[in-house]
Structure 1
Amino acid sequence: MSAPIEWYAASCGQGGGNNCIEIARDGDRVLMRESSKPDEIVVTTPAKLDAFLKGIKAGEFDHFVD
């Protein structure tokens, strides 16, 4: 049996809200979920998550915002 997954909430979730992104590490996988939908889990790798976050910071997805 594997160890239970430890989820970590972004700072917005520390106030007791139920609409925050949570992240966990499971071996070589990164798991992400929205706290209001804990059964819907997105699975990625650390490298892909890093590239995505760098793209956000660089403005690569700004055209999706009104």
Structure 2
Amino acid sequence: MREYSFVRVAVKRRREGSVMQKDYREIITEQAAAGWKFVQAIPLESHSEPRLDLVFTRKVKK
């Protein structure tokens, strides 16, 4: 069995383009160190509060 974790990264809209609140690479590295495997990034750009959802998974420890 697997468990999943979702990390939201806020995205700020600016005249020059979009800027993430935190570097996604740093989050992926931190999660990997905690035993999580990166699965997918889901951009929610047209959402009222734009964000990037990072999906992680790992096997459930018995």
Greater RCO (CA < 8 Å, at least 6 residues apart) = 2
More helix by share: 1
TM-score for both structures, normalised by structure 2: 0.24
More strand by share: 2
